[in-house]
Chains A and B, each alone.
Chain A
Amino acid sequence: MPEINLWAKDGYLSTPDGNSIYFWGFAKSAAGPAQLPGPNIIARQGETITVNLHNMLAEPVSIAFPGQQVTVEGQPVQPQYKNNRLLSFVNYAEPGGTVAYTFTPSHPGTYLYESGTNPYQQVPMGLYGGMVVRPADYNPDVPEYKTAYGAGTDTGFDREYLLITGEIDPDLHQAVENGKPYRVSKYVPRYWTLNGRCAPDTMLMDHVDYLPHQPYGAMIMGLPGEKILLRYIGAGIDNHPLHPHGAHTRVVAVDGRLLRNGNADLSYKRFTVLVGVGQTYDQIYQWDGLGYTPGNPIPTVLPNLRNMGVGDAGWTMWSGSPYLGVKGDIPVGVVSYNEMGEYYFMLHSHEELQITNWGEFPGGMMTMVAIYPSLAPDIGVIG
């Protein structure tokens, strides 16, 4: 039986504008850093899993697994009370203590896990993470069985990415750090995160050593025509309208439930998906290049370089050529991201304030979808 250990700890988040923010998160080991979001949990349909939560914070902490039937010591999890007052939606670990949650996922899909204790504070502080349940027949080496919901469900994919939304109100985090009271009614997010990071950090690779508490990147990478599975999770306490440029997504499942009844396919295409809090959306993004072929001229006249606005240093996504995999001239002094002449499409919150870091554009809940001329097969693997 797979067993996962999570430690609830504290740490400091880094934001691109130089802020350092106290937070609570789950760590992979007793000595490891707390991370935002918590370690990805990968489970398998029908296989019983136990998650041991070791609480190293100074107040009770728990984990709720929405959509799962969870037991603790053989009994279904239940709300917990102290002095007749609701303390926690599920069984919790006291400071220094441990609690073991056991469940058997009955459905494949994408799920959230999050604190069920003082959630108005502990969830915004960072005690949340994502869980992927593989279908029982999952086999990444056989295309037919490399699916989100099982063979024959039309959910096959070439690469997959988790995108977990969140917000940060620095006042809340500072109040918690200093043991000061915090009025929930004053909640005003200043940072908006994808996988715990704000743009442009969202576009950095996983596990860069200067973001020890934010190990997961949010860069979406693929090849033309590939099926890219985007798993959205709304982990914060605000809703966020997310959309990628370049192609619509096909929403194939919500909250870990395939959108299909019998033979009726209920999947649908969307330009923007409102990522509701606590909800998940599995969707397939496929960029087919508007008739792209390596030799196909693009049916438009490109502006002269002198007439083009070029982004600030570090923000140029133009390779100097309209052709995938080709690099051309760009102005002197401009640094381009395009190492291989790849195409970039934004993926961002359509609430424009949320693509800032404390009001400064660009930033926040934004990343890129990069379409490469060639790409290693180990990119776009959720581990």
Chain B
Amino acid sequence: MAIVARIFQAAAGFLSFPGANAIPFWGFTEALADKPQYPGPLIEATAGDQILIWLMRNYLEPIVEPISITFPGQENVLVRKIPWGPFIYEPVKPQYAAGKMISLTNYLDENRDILVEYSFIASRPGIYLYESGTNPEKQVQMGLYGIIVVRPVGYNIPGHPNYKTAYGADTNSGYDVEKVLVLGEIDTVMHNNVVPNVYYDMLDFKPDFWVVNGRSFPDTINEEQISSQPYDAAINCRVGQRVLLRIVNAGFQNHTFYLGDLVGRIVAEDGMPLKTQSLDATYEKTGTTLGSGQRIDIILTPATPGEYYLYDREYQHLVNNDQFPGGMMTKINVR
């Protein structure tokens, strides 16, 4: 058991999309790093680790509204706050002002707080979202979200029964190649309004870019570090290897992630393995529909070399500025 401690700030930055002007966004950044990230920094832990997230005031570039982080699927999240307290950990809870709920969880007020600390034990292996819990209809869409991968004890120890498994021995989750794919979407009109703090009615939400790991195709398969979008979505494997796709829908729309002509086995849903000691409930699919906030772990084993596209089967999301190909699409190269 270890402590995984990260110091985050929220900051404004710019995103790059094929054929579009730079789009303003809000993202989490490791404190003192120069750029906010979309999605936020990947947090990796081993089951049983204590995860400590310090959300720090950004003195240089505050986003001028309270910010917070929720951890869907994690239990017993505790909070401390500096300098006004609570000083001793207490369970996170929704926050109210004048009888109205203003945040799903304890938040950082950059006018008075220096940092808020969230702490929990990552008790179960799986893939999880972290995302803003304050004005989430705005802040999550603006980019304040990221992924936590919790691996079973022994996943990195050759010979250990849990070695290279997503959920431990005997869960049908053994893999050779692992890839996290985070789905989402961007409404550029909204982004261009929110940053200069112009009111935007979320009922008008209409995305025009669809992303995997914060990028639209063909940027998804570009290995280059693209400023604030560091995570590519290309997958490389050899014939016969087991490829673990850890797909998370961080967006507000449902997306049907399609495996091209490949067939995958769904081994976990929402961080829960489908195979237990008494029942193997894993199942095969050519594509799967993820509701907003849902996660799924799929294992595919390509049998022939070549290229395959993986994409949102809702074909209207495979465009950039109405031009195919683009959007929520990536590629697996099988050698």
Contacts and interface: CB of A to CB of B under 8 A. Distances in A.
Contact of A257 (B254, B279, B284): B284
A380 to B, nearest CB: 26
B283 A266 contact: yes
A264 B303 contact: no
A69 B285 contact: no
A118 B325 CA distance: 8
A78 B306 contact: yes
B289 A276 contact: yes
A257 B316 contact: no
A34 B49 CA distance: 61
Given A65-B261, A66-B261, A77-B261, A237 B309 contact: no
A68 B316 contact: no
B263 A257 contact: yes
A89 B260 contact: yes
B315 A69 contact: no
Contacts of A237: 313-316
Contact of B313 (A262, A266, A278): A278
A174 to B, nearest CB: 17
B314 A185 contact: no
Given A64-B261, A184-B319, A237-B314, A278 B304 contact: no
B256 A261 contact: no
Given A77-B261, A78-B306, A124-B315, A185 B322 contact: yes
A187 interface: yes
Given A66-B261, A257-B284, A79 B309 contact: yes
Contacts of B307: 78-79
Interface residues of B, number: 37
A262 B279 CA distance: 10
Interface string A164-182: 0000000000000000000
A256 B285 CA distance: 8
Contact of A274 (B281, B289, B315): B289
Given A69-B261, A239-B256, A278 B283 contact: no
Contact of B258 (A262, A266, A278): A278
B288 interface: yes
B273 to A, nearest CB: 13
A185 B316 contact: yes
A255 B313 CA distance: 14
A306 interface: no
Nearest to A120: B315
Given A185-B322, A274-B289, A67 B283 contact: no
Q: Which of B258, B261, B284 has the most CB of A within 10 A?
A: B261
A257 B318 contact: no
Contacts of A277: 256, 287, 289, 313-314
A266 B218 CA distance: 39
B286 A67 contact: yes
A259 B265 CA distance: 12
A70 interface: yes
> Size band of the A side of the interface?
35 or more
A276 B287 contact: yes
Nearest to B289: A276
Contact of A261 (B282, B304, B308): B282
B223 interface: no
A255 B286 contact: yes
Given A77-B261, A118-B324, A279 B283 contact: no
Contacts of A184: 316, 319, 322, 324
Nearest to A76: B304
Nearest to B260: A89
B283 A254 contact: yes
Nearest to A185: B322
B76 to A, nearest CB: 32
B89 to A, nearest CB: 41
Interface string B246-263: 000000001010101101
A119 interface: yes
Nearest to A117: B324
Interface of A: 64-70, 76-79, 85-86, 89-90, 118-121, 123-124, 183-185, 187, 237-239, 254-257, 259, 261-262, 264, 266, 274, 276-279
Which 3 A-B pairs give the minimum distances between C-beta atoms? A276-B289, A278-B313, A120-B315
29 contacts: A66-B260, A66-B261, A66-B287, A67-B286, A68-B261, A77-B261, A78-B306, A78-B307, A118-B324, A119-B318, A120-B319, A120-B324, A121-B324, A185-B319, A187-B316, A255-B263, A255-B285, A259-B283, A264-B279, A264-B281, A266-B281, A274-B289, A276-B288, A277-B313, A277-B314, A279-B256, A279-B287, A279-B288, A279-B313
Given A67-B263, A85-B325, A239-B256, 19 more contacts: A69-B261, A69-B304, A70-B261, A79-B308, A79-B309, A119-B315, A124-B315, A184-B322, A185-B316, A185-B319, A237-B313, A255-B285, A259-B283, A261-B283, A264-B279, A264-B280, A276-B256, A276-B313, A278-B256
